[in-house]
Amino acid sequence: MNKNIERFIRYAKIDTQADENTGTTPSTEKQKNLSRLLVEELKELGLEDAYMDEYGIVYAHLDGVGDVIGLNAHIDTALEVTDENVNPQIVEKWDGSDIKLNDLYTISLKEFPHMKGFIGKDLVITDGNTLLGADDKAGIAIIMGVLDYLKNNPSFKHHPLAIAFTVDEEIGEGPKHFSLEKMKADYAFTIDGGPINHIDCENFNAQQLRVKIDGVAVHPGEGKNTLINALQLQAEFINALPQKETPFYADEGYWHLTSVNGTSESVEFVAILRNFSRHKLEELDTRILQIRDQLSEKYPKAKIKVEISEQYENMKKYVEKDPRPVKRAEAALKKLGIEPIFARIKGGTDGATFSKMGLVTPNLGTGSGNHHGRFEYLVVQDFEKMIEIVLEIIRK
Ligand SMILES: [Zn+2]
């Protein structure tokens, strides 16, 4: 096993799962275990100013010539499956046959046809009990692999680098305490994704919808002309939303109900609203407010409160305004004989918010996939290639 994969496995074994219910930064203290280790290793690699701030975010810099290029990956892992006792397995030269993770779970091409492209390559997978955490420890290991190469090849001329390892990306709080002053980069890349030929320059605009409905509760036997059932009103609200604009049908954007809590007297539901187009998202907002008004008119004794809050924004307009990072990534991929795909993320990245803050940050792949679950994998050769790609991007 080479030292870059070894490094990835070492990081994957450290539990850094985020938690959306603590309200602290980092959301889990254990994320700092990896932060501390990274500070030590960065110093060993010659980035002497490496440090962890009070939030667990790691910053470090390396001198060079030209624009300062930022590289970011996130320390935390997703919430869907546990990150405790990650036990990575290696499949050498995968022949495409079923991979039995354990008695309950198997990776098969039937289930994951996109993995056909990895036949003949080596895979790092889970033992079926945890996620792998290639999202985003593969990103961290790629950045560390690049720095290791630079240390061992002092004649390699490169741009100055600004490194940031952030916390709590998976709960959407990566940018919360991220500091442009501490980072000091001209533009940056998040390395937090899938295929290595992708340059992600676009993502969803994102809002959260919260609707609270208070009905009128009386004994149902005395309910005639009085009782207003909040649960039924909630169903009426949901049914009035455009039914073909849900993740099952829609590609460009959708509304997606995530929770309903309540009783016949009072209920609250939460949904996420997503669209590549800001205009379309606002049209949906208008429709939601119309539904509120129509139902309030129909049931004047009910109280319907609608709250729409912004989550993140499509980075497209920022990336277009400063095309330097995308141009560099495109040139690097082409030089290595890889045709780039300019992809759109049906989700968000920390980079979307960094871009809005003033640091344009498109996203690059890691060679991993099936994120947030037991079927997660890392393709060894693609991961290795990504280190070469990043070296090409920062080459002076
Ligand atoms: Zn990620």
Q: Ligand 1 center to residue 331 CA distance, Å? A: 24
C-alpha angle 283-287-292 in degrees, rounded to nearest 5: 150
Dihedral (Cα; 242, 349, 361, 380), 10-degree rounding? -130
Tell me the CA end-to-end span of the chain in Å, nearest whole number: 30
Contacts for 64 with CB less than 8 Å, ≥ 6 apart: 157, 158, 159, 160, 161, 394, 396
**Is the domain of 80 the same as that of 215?**
no
3-state per-residue secondary structure call for 236-257: HHHHHCCCCCCCCCCCCEEEEE
The continuous run of DSSP H or E covering 151 comes out as: helix 134-152
Candidates 15, 41, 76, 200; catalytic one = 76
32 & 161 share domain: yes
Residue with tokens 């990336």: 319
- Residues 89-110 as b/e (b if ≥16 CB within 10 A, e otherwise) read eebeebeeeebebeeeeebeee
pTM of the model: 0.90
Half-sphere exposure for 143 (CA within 13 Å, toward CB): 32
Same domain, yes or no: 190 and 338: yes
Q: How far apart are CA 197 and CA 75, in angstroms?
A: 23
Using CA atoms, how far residue 47 sits from 53, 67, 393, in Å, is 16, 18, 19
313 catalytic? Reply is: no
pLDDT in tens, 342-381: 999 988 889 999 999 999 999 999 999 999 999 999 999 9
Same domain, 58 and 14: yes
pLDDT digits (tens, 9 = 90+) for 135-172: 999 999 999 999 999 999 999 999 999 999 999 999 88
Give the Å distance between the CA of 170 and the centre of ligand 1. Answer: 7
169 is catalytic: yes
Q: Indicate whether 299 and 322 sit together in one domain.
A: no
CATH number at residue 352: 3.40.630.10
CA separation, residue 246 to residues 229, 243, 308 (Å): 26, 6, 18
Whether residue 370 sits in one domain with residue 241: no
**Cα distance between residue 143 and residue 138, in whole Å:** 9
- What pLDDT score does 348 carry? 84
Do 336 and 298 share a domain, yes or no? no
Tally the domains of the chain.
2
Q: For the segment 384-396, what is each residue's pLDDT rounded down to a tens digit? A: 999 999 999 999 9
CA of residue 120 to ligand 1 center, whole Å: 26
Last residue of a domain, one of 258, 292, 311: 311
Residue range 121-137, pLDDT digits in tens: 999 999 999 999 999 99
| pLDDT band at residue 193 using 50, 70 and 90 as cut-offs | confident
* Same domain flag for 111 and 175: yes
Domain boundary among the residues 269, 286, 311 is at: 311
Which are the contacts of 303, defined by CB distance < 8 A and separation ≥ 6? 212, 213, 214
**164, 276 Cβ separation under 8 angstroms:** no
Which candidate in 41, 122, 148, 169 is catalytic? 169
Domain that holds residue 330: 3-203+314-394
* CA 136 to centroid of ligand 1, rounded, Å: 5
The CATH number of the domain holding residue 232 is 3.30.70.360
Model confidence pLDDT, tens digit, residues 296-322: 999 999 999 999 999 899 999 999 999
| Same domain, yes or no: 116 and 225 | no
Distance (angstroms) between ligand 1 centre and the Cα of 276 equals 19
Same domain, residue pair 253 and 292: yes
Residues 144 and 284 in one domain: no
Between the CA of 352 and the centroid of ligand 1 the distance, in Å, is 13
Q: Quote the pLDDT of residue 1.
A: 66
Compute, in angstroms, the gap from residue 31 CA to the centroid of ligand 1: 14
pLDDT (average), residues 55-82? 97
The residue among 296, 311, 326 that closes a domain is: 311
